[in-house]
């Protein structure tokens, strides 16, 4: 039994369409673990949205979605580095459908004949070309038709990209930062026909479009597109075993004593799924800091709240999560679940690997005493909504998409980055 992600498909897609209307020309982002849903599923959703371009994190991810049948163009967000390993593409002509990001002149020169987007060094200071180097871009780039020039021209520039900070404690204007870069690009004699943006509001994009009518501003959005309506997604973990314990009885790997009478719940989801593997957080204000101190203090006496809930209450880990399961302590007095029931789990989708992703319809789920939940789930491949599926994808005998379904392609010919 599995750690499952249930998708209220109609609501989820309605949110996507609303965001697309808010950000014309939106470029969906599918990278990493696919925001918990898998990159191939997100590529299918991007096609349903009518997007002509999908942004992915790495060249390997570009090869994966192209091999699975994604028909559009693909933008690789991670900048190309000279000498990086070549990633094969499934078909010889797929290279013309891939846009590589470059963050310096050396990479621009190296990608002869390739289509490139130049990343600019914003206030993020993560990577990007310096303003002083813009004047040399035209000389380093190849001809506009994408052919290799006899003078050793590099990649063909098809746009510029600006990855902006999320917070601005100095109260600086993100619109002004983008406008300054557009002015610098055009001032260097480069075409600013398309500028890709990350982390700018719809109002900011509209303001820029009004001031720069010859430039198309396209927002690259991932988290807000796929995870923006939290009520459309629900993670649930199957109960695998329920064992009564008395106060003082020993259990688990470390043989700790039960703090009171109750039940030990063995549930799906462990460190291999990302359960208990918490990412660092940047804290603002006194209250979050005090909560962090309290949480750390409880951890020193082996008291750690789990992300699992039953009966409307958050449960404690009985001991640290195992690789594929977790053991929880349910105090006495609460009605325990039975094997096969599911517990709601609050997880960070970008660090969680679900065993299956299921589309479902609303129906009362009687097992959890906290209240009714949707339970009728169908395999997304059987709904007729997905225009293509991964070749050789592994699917379980029951409904749902197995994690292996997003890891099944083997490119053969062509290459990314050469």
Instruction: Give the total number of structural domains in the chain.
Output: 1
The tokens for 219 are 């927002």
- Decide which of 399 and 337 is more confident: 337
* Per-residue model confidence (pLDDT) at position 387: 52
Cβ-contact 198, 6 below 8 angstroms:
no
pLDDT tens digits, one per residue of 206-236: 999 999 999 999 999 999 999 999 999 999 9
Instruction: Please report whether residue 341 resides in a domain.
Output: no
Residue 352 bridge partners (DSSP): none
* Per-residue model confidence (pLDDT) at position 363: 47
Instruction: Please report whether residue 249 resides in a domain.
Output: no
Give the separation between CA 205 and CA 23, rounded to whole angstroms.
Answer: 8
Q: Is 418 exposed, middle or buried (0-12, 13-18, 19+ CB in 10 A)?
A: middle
The percent of residues above 90 in pLDDT, for the chain, comes to 75
Indicate which CATH number applies to the domain containing 121: 3.20.20.10
* Per-residue model confidence (pLDDT) at position 192: 96
* Per-residue model confidence (pLDDT) at position 80: 98
Instruction: Please report whether residue 219 resides in a domain.
Output: yes
Instruction: Please report whether residue 212 resides in a domain.
Output: yes
Instruction: Please report whether residue 372 resides in a domain.
Output: no
pLDDT tens digits, one per residue of 350-373: 999 999 999 986 444 445 555 444
Q: How confident is the model at residue 379 (pLDDT cuts 50, 70, 90)?
A: low
Which residues, including other chains, have CB under 8 Å from residue 312's CB and lie 6 or more apart?
369, 370, 371
Instruction: Please report whether residue 18 resides in a domain.
Output: yes
Least confident of 18-22, 148-152, 293-297: 148-152
* Per-residue model confidence (pLDDT) at position 143: 76
pTM for this predicted structure: 0.84
Instruction: Please report whether residue 14 resides in a domain.
Output: yes
- Decide which of 277 and 69 is more confident: 69
> Residue 190 sits in which domain range?
8-227
Instruction: Please report whether residue 397 resides in a domain.
Output: no
Closest CA to 155 of 144, 171, 167, 164: 144
* Per-residue model confidence (pLDDT) at position 411: 31
Give the separation between CA 211 and CA 214, rounded to whole angstroms.
Answer: 9
């Amino acid at each position: 039994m599995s750690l499952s992600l249930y998708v209220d498909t109609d609501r989820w897609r309605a949110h996507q369409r609303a965001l697309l209307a808010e950000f014309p020309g939106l470029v969906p982002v599918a990278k990493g673990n696919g925001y918990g849903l898998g990159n191939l599923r997100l590529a299918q959703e991007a096609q349903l949205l009518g997007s002509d371009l999908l942004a992915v994190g790495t060249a390997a991810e570009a090869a994966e979605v192209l091999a699975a049948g994604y028909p559009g163009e693909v933008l690789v967000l991670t900048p190309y580095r000279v000498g990086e390993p070549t990633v094969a593409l499934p078909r010889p002509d797929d290279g013309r459908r891939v846009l590589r990001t470059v963050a310096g002149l050396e990479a621009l020169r190296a990608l002869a004949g390739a289509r490139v987007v130049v990343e600019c060094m914003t206030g993020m200071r993560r990577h990007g070309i310096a303003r002083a180097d813009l004047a040399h871009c035209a000389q380093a780039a190849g001809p506009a038709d994408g052919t290799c020039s006899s003078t050793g021209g590099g990649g063909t520039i098809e746009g510029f990209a600006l990855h902006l900070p999320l917070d601005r404690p100095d109260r600086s204007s993100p619109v002004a930062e983008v406008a300054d870069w557009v002015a610098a690009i055009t001032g260097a004699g480069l075409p600013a026909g398309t500028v890709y943006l990350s982390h700018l509001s719809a109002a900011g994009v509209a303001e820029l479009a009004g001031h720069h009518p010859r430039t198309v501003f396209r927002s690259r959005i991932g988290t807000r597109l796929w995870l923006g309506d939290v009520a459309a997604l629900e993670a649930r973990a199957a109960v695998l075993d329920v064992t009564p314990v008395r106060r003082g009885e020993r259990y688990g790997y470390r043989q700790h004593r039960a703090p009171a009478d109750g039940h030990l719940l063995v549930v799906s989801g462990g460190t291999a799924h990302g359960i208990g593997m918490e990412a660092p957080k940047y804290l603002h204000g006194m209250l979050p800091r005090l909560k962090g101190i309290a949480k750390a203090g409880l951890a020193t006496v082996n008291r750690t709240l789990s992300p699992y809930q039953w009966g409307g209450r958050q449960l404690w880990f009985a001991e640290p999560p195992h690789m594929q399961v977790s053991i929880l302590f349910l105090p006495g007095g609460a009605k325990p679940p039975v094997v096969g029931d599911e517990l709601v789990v609050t997880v960070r989708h970008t660090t969680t690997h679900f065993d299956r992703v299921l589309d479902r319809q609303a129906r009362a789920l009687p097992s959890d005493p906290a209240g009714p939940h949707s339970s009728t789930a169908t395999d997304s491949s059987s709904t007729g909504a997905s225009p293509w599926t991964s070749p050789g994808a592994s699917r379980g005998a029951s409904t749902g998409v197995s994690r292996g379904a997003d890891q099944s392609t083997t490119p053969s010919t062509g290459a990314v980055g050469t």
